[in-house]
Amino acid sequence: MSTFSVYFYAATTFMNLTQNPRVAIIGAGLTGLSAARRLIEAGIETELFEKSRDVSGRVATRRLEFPDLTLRFDHGSPFLTSAQLQAIQPLTNSPNIPPSPAPLDVRVHRELDDEAVISITSGMNQVGKSLARGLKIYLSYEVTEIVPSDGNRQWKIVTKDAVVTEDFDYVITTIPPRQAADILRSTNSAMVRSLIPIEPQGCWSLMLVTKPAIRLSLVSDPGNKIIERVINENAKGQSSAHLGLYTVHAKRPWSQRHMQTTKADVQNAMIEGLQSLGLNSGNILHAQLHRWLYAGVVQPFGRPYLSDAQQGLYCAGDWCLGNDINSALRSANATAARIIQSLV
């Protein structure tokens, strides 16, 4: 039986609303966390349900423990832009929510051609943790169904272990579209028919430790059909005892074709695709592969969210607009704004 826990709790004060609504958000990635902050700013009671053991979704950090060293890899989204950081920072100090104890520890990189990018010295997952502070979040809580309520509110949340939560007036799913369709089937919402055709796209991420370190720029492209980019984690200011730390993302189309390929074969193919950069099996001390089964969608939906407003149901996520952090933030803001507007 899975367990669940409350991540943080914030008391809310309801102001200027026509009722005391309750909102459930399924998923505590960047979209869900940002939408929750916006709703709580407006005095709307909001709870989040996350099937993983921690928050932040694909804005993720993996830590590898060695006897005298902990190494860190941002194996999901590796950076923020200045505009993204400016959008996120005010949310970490929202009204009605205890502020974060310290601002994000950022490092600015200006070596890319298009614009400066920003890494988080302590790991990209600190973005999600900072947004999560003060929110009521249930972790390891896999929602399997949203069912009509027999009380005064519209919906109940049912989990894999048949745990049923209190009732909610609104539900926002911020999970991949086909997963959202599965848990929404009992609602008889027309949204389900719109969600099913949205095709997911995966991504393989490979974390490498080498000795010696290979001199690479912050982001490298080996120029082949397999590898999208190589992120030099050392360039983010991480001390690694003369080891090289690299996160390698495979290209989405190649990844999708190999989602069911064995990890050993995927890893070998990706390492072979790094030969031109000097990374090879001879200098790799450790390799760890991660499969992002739902890294994005083949074709974004094209609108900030889907809604069945009459039933109080919304579907949001970066997949609505473009598979990136900007899209996640835009979707969160638009969805929260729509609910707030309906209540004021």
Q: Give the model confidence (pLDDT) of 85-127 as tens digits.
A: 999 988 887 777 776 667 788 999 976 666 789 999 999 999 9
Question: Which of the residue ranges 110-114, 211-215, 311-315, 335-339 would you say has the lowest mean pLDDT?
Answer: 110-114
pLDDT of residue 1: 39
The average pLDDT across 134-161 equals 91
323 or 3: which leads in pLDDT:
323
pLDDT of residue 115: 76
d(CA 87, CA 133): 17
b/e map 35-68, b = 16+ CB within 10 Å: bbbbbbbbbbbbbbbbbeebbbbbbbbbeeeeee
Q: Does residue 9 have a pLDDT over 50?
A: no
Confirm if 96 and 10 have CB atoms less than 8 A apart. yes
Task: Round to the nearest angstrom and report the end-to-end CA distance of the chain.
Answer: 41
pLDDT of residue 8: 44
pLDDT of residue 326: 95
How crowded is the C-beta side of 261, counted as CA atoms within 13 Å?
A: 18
pLDDT of residue 239: 76
pLDDT of residue 166: 79
Q: Structure tokens of 173?
A: 């799913």
When the pLDDT of each residue in the chain is averaged and rounded to a whole number, the result is: 90
CATH for 200-297, among 3.40.190.10, 3.40.50.720, 3.90.660.10, 3.30.565.10?
A: 3.90.660.10
The residues, ordered by sequence, that sit 6+ positions from 244 with a Cβ below 8 Å of its Cβ are 208, 209, 210, 211, 212, 213, 214, 216, 232, 234, 283
pLDDT of residue 5: 46
pLDDT band with cut points at 50, 70 and 90 for residue 289 = very high
Q: Does residue 341 have a pLDDT over 50?
A: yes
pLDDT of residue 111: 66
Question: Which of the residue ranges 88-102, 249-263, 302-316 would you say has the lowest mean pLDDT?
Answer: 88-102
d(CA 232, CA 86): 24
Share of the chain above pLDDT 90, in %: 78
Confirm if 275 and 190 have CB atoms less than 8 A apart. no
Give the H or E element holding residue 331.
helix 325-343
d(CA 94, CA 108): 25
The average pLDDT across 283-308 equals 97
The model's pLDDT over 196-232, given as tens digits with 9 standing for 90+, comes to: 999 999 999 999 999 999 999 999 999 999 999 999 9
d(CA 293, CA 58): 11
Q: Does residue 17 have a pLDDT over 60?
A: no
The average pLDDT across 139-165 equals 89
Give the H or E element holding residue 5.
strand 5-6
d(CA 8, CA 6): 6
The residues, ordered by sequence, that sit 6+ positions from 148 with a Cβ below 8 Å of its Cβ are 154, 155, 156, 186, 187
pLDDT band with cut points at 50, 70 and 90 for residue 13 = very low
The average pLDDT across 300-309 equals 97
Share of the chain above pLDDT 70, in %: 92
pLDDT band with cut points at 50, 70 and 90 for residue 12 = very low
The model's pLDDT over 21-73, given as tens digits with 9 standing for 90+, comes to: 999 999 999 999 999 999 999 999 999 999 999 999 999 999 999 888 899 99
Write the single-letter amino acid at 133. Answer: R
d(CA 207, CA 286): 8
Short-list 20, 17, 27, 29, CA closest to 327: 29
d(CA 287, CA 281): 10
Domain boundaries, the chain: 5-56+79-198+299-343, 200-297
The average pLDDT across 125-139 equals 94
Q: Is the pTM of this model over 0.85?
A: yes
The topology (CATH level 3) of 5-56+79-198+299-343 is FAD/NAD(P)-binding domain (3.50.50)
328 or 154: which leads in pLDDT:
328
Strand partners, 242: none
